[in-house]
Every structure is written in C-alpha cells, then in structure tokens.
Structure 1
Amino acid sequence: MANSRPRQYFRYHYRILRFLGLGWWHQPEEGKTSNFPGWYLYYSIFTQVVIVAGFVTMETIDPFVGEIDKDQFMFCLAFIITDNFTLLKMSIFIFKNVDIQYIVHTIEIELYDYYQNIPKIRETIKKTKIITGAFLFFGWLTIGNGHVYGTIQDIKWKSLVATINDTSLHPVRALPQSIYIPWDYQKDSRYIPIFVFETIGLLWTGHVVMIIDTFIASVTLHMSSQFEILNEAIRTAYDRTMSSLCESVRPEAIQERESLLLSAEETNEKIVQCFVPKEEMEAALATTFRNCFRQHQLLIDCAEKFSRTYSYGFMTQLLASSAAICVVLVQVAQDASSFKSIQLITSAAFLVAMIIQLGIQCFTGNELTLQAGRISEAVMECKWECIPTSQRRPLLMMIMRAQRPLKLTAAGFKDIDNVCFLSIMKAAYSYYAVLTQKQEK
C-alpha cells in the first residue's frame, strides 16, 4: 500500500466545494465536467446569491448607513474587504470550473504516463492537508471568537435591559458582526433569525474564502512537486535506462561476465555495453529522454494554463491582502492597548489567517518557479555526454526553456513569489503606520 498510486488528491476540497455550491466538482477519473447538473443549479443559485452575496451586501452597506461600533470598525472593514474580493474569486471558480478540473486531471491522471515518485506525491498531499488545516483553524478561531464575544455582549445587554424601566431608553442591541438590517430587530422574535442568518452567512463566506485559497495553493504545490519529480527523472534517466536494460539481459549472459573478469562492483552500464546491442541501447535512451521532454512540455502547458485561468484571482488576493492586513493591524493595536482580551484574540487570529492566506499563495508560487528553473541543472547532471549526439537536441531545448522563468502572475502586474509577499507586508505596515499617526492626531 505504501507504493500504491495515490488518488483523489483534493478529495476534501471537492466535497466542500460541492457543499458550498461552487459547482459539482468531479474526481478526475470520473471523466465528467458537468458543473451544475439538475437540481444542484438551484441549490448553487440559492447559496451564492442569497447566503453569500446577500450577506456580503448587507455587511458592505452597514458602515455607510448603519451605526457601527467604533472599537470594531477596523475589524469589520477587514472582513468587508476580504468578503467582497472573495466574490470575484468565487466567480472565477464558477465560470472556470472546467479549466480548473482539466488542470487537476493533468496532475492526477496524465502525468502518470511518465516517471513518478509515489512517496514524494504522498508527502505533497500531506503538506496540502497541513496548509488547509492551519488556515481552517485560524479561520474558525476568528469566526468562533467573534461570535462568542457577540453572544457575551448580548447577554450583558439583556441583563442591563432587565434592570431598567420599560419607559427608559434602551441601549441598542448589536449583532456579533455588524451588518445592515433595514428593520427593527431588538426583540428576540426578530433578533434570533437574523443572528442565525448572520452566523450561516459568515461561516459560508468564510469557508468559501478558506477552501478556494487552500485549493489553489494545493494545486500550485502539486505542480511544483511534479517539477521536482521531473528533475529527478532527468537526473536518473541514463542510470534508469541502464538498469532496465540490465534486467532484460539473459541470465546466461550475466554468468558469462565472470569469464570476462568483470567484478561484482562493475556498473550496469558496463554490463549493458557487453551484452546489449548498441542499437537497442540507443533506442532505449531515446525513449527515456523523449518521455522526459514530453513530461516537461505537459507540465509547462499545465502551469501556464493555470496561470491564465486564475491570474485575476491572484490579483484579487494581493489587493485584498494589502488592505485587510493593514486595517486588521490597526485593530490589533487598538485591542492590545485597551486590554480587550476576547477582541484581541479574535483580531490576532484574523491577522494570522490573513498572513497565511497571502503566504500560501506566494510561497507555493515561488516554489513552482524555483523547481521549474532547476530543470537546466538536472539536464547538466544527467550524463548527457554518454548519449549519442543526435539525441541531445531535446535536452538543449529543455535547458533553453528553463532559462525563461515559469511564474504565476497577478494579471501580469506582479509575480506571485516570496518577494511579492515581503513587499505586500512592508506596504501593509507602511499604511498601518500612516493610519495610526492620523488617529493619534
């Protein structure tokens, strides 16, 4: 079982994407791409329009027409920025469903026609689960703490109202997450349904954010892992061919090597040279290196298609992260200075979630570029001098292609890599410093 082929790399992502109404994602081996079959279309319309878009719209309107808590203004603003940009990423997933499924099909199915490293793939799957789990943990911590704080505040409101006369002016009853409600909701008969709707909307939208971002990061990580496997395939191509040819040599010929005074330490290459015809050896080498070349082309096509498909999603991510990290930094500073422990935990967890959200995109994109660029090094280490001159052209083409960096870009404006991550963090801190100075004045 340890060496068996892993399947359904994104099983959990697919199931949650289906549940969230972002399309009926089929596993690659199913051979289907029907996005919204039958009744599922109406379910998707309801979840995306009523729950997600409805909640985000009410959340966005509130700062302009509602009475928002000043202490939590920055925290709410960070949520608004993140959720509104999520609508754009969500639309990419809905309308580019087939393209994304094709990319996953290439990673999970087509690449198995070539050299694969099963333990490496399993290790990559484990990494994607860790990334997903870490992001979900801080996302749940943010949402959970926010609602715990809101519930505590509502209990305090009830106890305060119980101590004052009916004729007195009651304080306003607030929701855990500030959203615009065009009617009075102070009584339990109206407050509870709105509270439930807000909880569902916040959880639904939050999971859309987390699943889309971790899925994209997981796909990128698998592509970078495939480039790393290709590097290994190129480096070992000559030795693997010699080993395979050696295994096909007749036992009588292996025994005959003793008469030729070949020691046990002699390499497979010498055995093949002694007992395998030159034409057969050259044909086997040509097949091995041709497969490496085709695997390289398939990976490049897959990565470039992925970059084109989700380029505006990356742009959305960078804009959202720059703004959200900046404003939530202000909120963390406010909560820390006022010693509001529950609010501080909530805002700090949200800050960590935002940094992870940006980091997983940039770090995996950087790894993809790094592993793709190492192809030229692998070619130089593949014992190319031992293969016929006529078979070296594909190797030269792989070196030339590797000299042109393979990068994921934010609509062509910015490369998704470690430099991008650092520049956004610096910019967010600069904006934070400006905002805090203005607040002090």
Structure 2
Amino acid sequence: MSIKKLLSALENPDHPLLGPTLKGLNLWGLCQSAGWTSVAYNIIHISAILFVISQYIELWYIRSDLPSALRNLSVSMLSTVCVVKASTFVYWQHDWRDIMNFVSALEIYQISKNDKAVNSIIKKYTQYSRRITYVYWFLVISTVLTLILAPLISILSSPEDRVKIKNNTKSYPEIMSSWAPFDKSRGPGYIVITIEHVLICFYGGGIVANYDTNAFVLMSFIAGQMKIIRQNCERLFEGRDTSHDVILRRIACCYHHHISLVKFAKVFNDLLSPVMFLYVVICSLMICASAIQLTMKNTTNMQKIWISEYLMSLITQLFMYCWHSNEVLDMSKKVDQGIYKSDWWSSNLRMRRNILLLGGQLRKTVIFTAGPFAVLSLSTFIAILKGSYSYYTILSEKAD
C-alpha cells in the first residue's frame, strides 16, 4: 500500500478536519464505544497507571544514584503526563465528542454553502492540520524508537560493557527504569521486563501523538474560524442585495458564529487546562533533568544522543502548544478588524447600533490556560525555558 493510499484511508467524510486524529484516538482507546472493547482498553489504561507507580517505586530504591535517578525521573514524569492525558480524555470523552461533533457539523455546513472565500480558509487550515499531524506523529515515532533501541545500541557500541555483562559484573541495560517483583537484570526476568517496556513505549507514544495532535488541530480550527468571521464582517455590505434585512441577517450570523465559537473554546479549555498545568510544571523539571544528564561526566555518547533527542522532543511539544494557543489569542484580538474594513460608515444610525453590538461581541478574546496561573503563549514558553535553566543551574551546583 502506497503512502498516499494509507493517508487517504485515514480520512473521514463525516469529519473533514478530524479524520486522522479521530482514527488515532479510536485506535488507542481514548474515544471508546460501548462493549467489550471499552473494557479491554480500560484495562490497558489501568495497567499503564500501575506501571507508572512501579517507576516511582524504583525511583525510591535508586534515589542515592543520581544519574540513574535523574534518568528514571525524566521518563517517569513523562509517563505521568501520558496516563493523565489518557485518563482525563477517557473520563471526559463525551465532552470531547461534543466538541468534535460541533467542529465537523459546522465545517460540513460551511462547505455546503459553496462560498469560495470561506472554503479557501477551511482548505488552508485543513492542509496545515494534516501537515502538523503527520510531522508530529513522525517526531513521536522517532522518539519512541530511539528510546527502545538506545540500550541495544549502547551494548553494541561498547565492547567493555559487553565484557562486563558476560562476566556478570554488570546487568543488561533497561529501556526504562521500573520496579518488578522478580530479578529483572538477566534471564527470563529481563525478557519479560523488556517486552513490558516496549509495549509501554508504544502505548505512551500513541497517547502523546494522538492527544497532542487533536489539541493542535482544534486550536487551528478556532484560529481559522476567527478568520472566517473577520472575512464575513468585511463583506457585510458587499453584493447586489444590501437591503436592511440582508445586512441584519449577516450581522446576526457573525454574532452567533462568534458566540458559538467562544463557547466551544471555553469547553475545550476546561478540558485541556488541568492537563496543561501538570504538563507545564513537569516539563520544566524534565527539561532541567535532561540538561543535567547531558553535562554529567559519566554520561556516554549514546546516552547523550538519546537525551538530546528526548530533550528536543520535550521542547518541541511544549512549543507546539504555546505556538498554536498564541495564534488563537492573536487571531481573536484581530477578528473585530473586519468590521472596520467594511462599509459600515454607509449604513444608517440604526444599523450602526447593531454593528456596535457585534463589535462588542467580537472584542471577547479566546485564551487557553495551563491551570489558573499561566496563559499558553510564546511568552510563557520562553519563561518556562528560563525557569528550567534556573533549576538546572541550582541542581548542577549541588551535583558538583
């Protein structure tokens, strides 16, 4: 099967924008249907939560070994974010479905009107959503494969380690650090723990890839719909039929379109904000821990490559959230410019009052937050990097 056919199989005519992301959410058990499959997926999600608990148990046992503890901590915190994303999405999946149905119903209605200008905007942000989805999926797959293959490459690239393992003076390297009620350093126990880690890596990668791309696509949708509202405001007095009733109907359409979009954005933010609060806090610590590992003297070249790739993935993930949220915020501040670009001055006093009411509605901005304390924006992204560097400076001094 060619790549083009594979990608076309991800499309869904009932969900023009959300086809690929919806497929991924269904495949990884975030959007569930009634029946035995729902039970099976929930067992998998619970198993992932138990695995994260085992990671923190192992962290307690190895707390005196700083390099091992930092490596465990960086992966454990990312695993925590994964299971929180999965758990909250499954728990609030009915609200998520309402959001997706709203997006698809609105787009299908807009496309059916055959408005070239509107369809052009929809096509642009849909194409952008496809590109960002597939590129992000590739980034996550690369990170997962790097994490899985890092121990194997480490053994192959170090003859000294192979000799130590053969002489039983060193245990086999693990993909991740987790506790197990059996000897996991070699033999059947090592095989079992390796299989478990591989499965968990694919599970976590799928959760991150699908949850994040779904959020990015929805943010792109909101920004695109804001552009449509602004354009429709610019065309309030265009066309042959510019009677009072027609213009009033256009104003009402823009008004209700913006109200529904703001309402949709608020529900979306209510679902995303608690997860992003946890992620922003944890991401700061993960970036800091990864930076410390890079500067340690006993860190091998292979470990540095893995940590560098892991660190870039963290920064990219955080940047993508802040970038798309910043785009929505910026676009929501510009949407009322469409009124001023229209021929509002040619209308009578009564119509100007209606336009004034529309302008008041359009001045309401859409802001996505990370809990009650932080706004997702580029300035927040820069602040997090600065904070991570400050943590790194303090911890590196203590480590020395």
TM-score by length of 2: 0.87
2:100 paired residue among 95, 98, 104: 104
Identity of aligned residues (%): 18
CA distance in 1, matches of 2:374, 2:96: 21
Q: Which moved more, 1:146-155 or 1:412-421?
A: 146-155
Whether the aligned pair in 2 keeps the contact of 1:62 and 1:178 (CA below 8 Å) is yes
CA distance in 2, matches of 1:142, 1:389: 61
CA distance in 1, matches of 2:394, 2:342: 54
The number of residues matched between the two structures is 381
- The letter for the 1-side match of 2:16 is Q
CA distance in 1, matches of 2:204, 2:243: 59
CA distance in 2, matches of 1:162, 1:329: 28
Q: How does 1:44-123 map to 2 (within 5 A)?
A: 44-50=41-47, 52-66=48-62, 70-110=66-106, 112-113=108-109, 117-123=118-124
Task: Return closer, same or farther for 1:20/1:422 CA change in 2, 3 Å cut-off.
Answer: same
Task: Return closer, same or farther for 1:344/1:294 CA change in 2, 3 Å cut-off.
Answer: same
Q: Deviations over 1:401-428 (max 9, x none)?
A: 3434321122322111112111111111
Shift of 1:6: 9.1
1:304 paired residue among 266, 272, 276: 266
- The letter for the 2-side match of 1:319 is V
Q: Deviations over 1:289-335 (max 9, x none)?
A: 2211121111111112212232212212211221111211222333x
Q: How does 1:8-407 map to 2 (within 5 A)?
A: 8-24=16-32, 36-50=33-47, 52-66=48-62, 70-110=66-106, 112-113=108-109, 117-153=118-154, 159-160=162-163, 164=167, 170-239=169-238, 241-242=239-240, 245=241, 281-334=243-296, 340-407=300-367
Shift of 1:386: 2.0
Q: Deviations over 1:224-261 (max 9, x none)?
A: 1110121111112222x33xx3xxxxxxxxxxxxxxxx
- The letter for the 1-side match of 2:44 is T
CA distance in 1, matches of 2:291, 2:74: 10
Whether the aligned pair in 1 keeps the contact of 2:62 and 2:69 (CA below 8 Å) is no
CA distance in 2, matches of 1:157, 1:333: 22
RMSD across aligned positions (CA): 2.6
Q: Deviations over 1:151-208 (max 9, x none)?
A: 24456699426864xxxx6433332222111211344333222211110012211221
Any stretches of 5+ residues in structure 1 without a counterpart?
25-35, 246-279
CA distance in 1, matches of 2:367, 2:170: 55
Any stretches of 5+ residues in structure 2 without a counterpart?
1-12
Query: Which one has the largest radius of gyration?
Result: 1
Q: Which moved more, 1:202-211 or 1:418-427?
A: 202-211
Task: Return closer, same or farther for 1:94/1:7 CA change in 2, 3 Å cut-off.
Answer: closer
- The letter for the 1-side match of 2:144 is I
Task: Return closer, same or farther for 1:143/1:73 CA change in 2, 3 Å cut-off.
Answer: farther
CA distance in 2, matches of 1:162, 1:103: 53
